[in-house]
Amino acid sequence: MENVGFIGLGRMGKSMASNLAKKGFSLVVHDIVEAPVKALVELGAKAAATPADVASQCSIVATMLPASKEVEETLFGPDGAMAHAKPGTLFLEMSTVDPATSDRLHDEAAKRQLMAVDAPVGRLAIHADRGECLFMVGATPANLERVMPLLRAMGTTIHHCGAGGTGMRMKLVNNYLAIILCQLNAEALSLSQRFGLDLVRTLEVLYGTTATNGQLRLNWPNKVLAGDTSPGFTVDLAHKDLSLIVQAANAARVPVPVAAAAREAFSMARSRGYGQIDFSGMVDVLCDIAQIERPRLPAGWTPPG
């Protein structure tokens, strides 16, 4: 079995690394925060002081970091992980970043006799807790086969999207729709609240027409509409992803006016202190601004059908 390094033990990364440790992988971990490192050590992992220390000990190095800046600092600098990796080391990059950063990952790996896979994560933190992540993978078939045991230990659904860089681009397309739907649902239910419509009846109507969507049917009844805005995917992260989407679309000369408008709505929410709530909580943001009662379902309610 290969020694696996894992850099980035945030809300998602800690759960993903924990699943690897629990399933018997030889694991070396690093994070700038001490507490999650200690938690992984208790599960049998070994702590490393720096990303370079991780790379020097491991043949596969996984990263799950906040943004492009952290990925570039961790991997590409003179003291970064790639500079200290042995030839043949594979870098499994799972963060949500600018496609240009994913492209650089593959380019730098090729220059250094290393290998690379971009495999950004779909679904939410609760799915990571249960080992039910979805991965969108950009890789050669051989590199995908090499990381497949790790992906299967952390997730249940793996989509090979094509060559290097396609996984990240697919993630932006997916998140575009997922985040936009949250904003649309928030506006629609705020309007429903202002109209004085019964929430249960509103949902029954929406679920029976083409207006329905996965966020409204699958996620919202368990999150904001149940009064739970603890973060599975925060407003801050949604804003970050919308910014990446707009930036990447501009670079590709594709107009995305809806994404730009939604980004400003999420920016407004962040400016008012809502950045760390779940992104489904955008409906609470709009209702609070408009001084409307927040929509909540009765206890025990489940979607019809």
CA–CA gap between residue 265 and residue 263 (Å, rounded): 5
The residue annotated as part of the active site, out of 22, 23, 38, 171, is 171
Alpha-carbon gap, residue 253 to 248, rounded angstroms: 9
According to DSSP, residue 293 is labeled P
Strand 133-138 vs strand 121-122: parallel, antiparallel, or unpaired?
antiparallel
Q: What is the DSSP secondary-structure string of 18-30?
A: HHHHHTT-EEEEE
The whole-angstrom distance between residue 232's C-alpha and the CA centroid of its chain comes to 10
Pair of tokens at residue 276: 């760390």
**Residue 171 designated active-site:** yes
- Alpha-carbon distance values, 41 to 46, 47, 74, 195 (Å): 6, 7, 21, 54
Instruction: Tell me phi and psi for residue 232, to 5 degrees.
Output: -100, -40
Under 8 Å between Cβ of 276 and 234: yes
Helix or strand or coil: residue 214? Answer: helix
d(CA 148, CA 289): 46
In this structure, the chain runs to a length of: 305
Longest dimension (CA), the chain: 64
**Structural tokens at position 139:** 């890789």
CA Rg, the chain, in Å? 20
Give catalytic residues, as residue numbers.
171
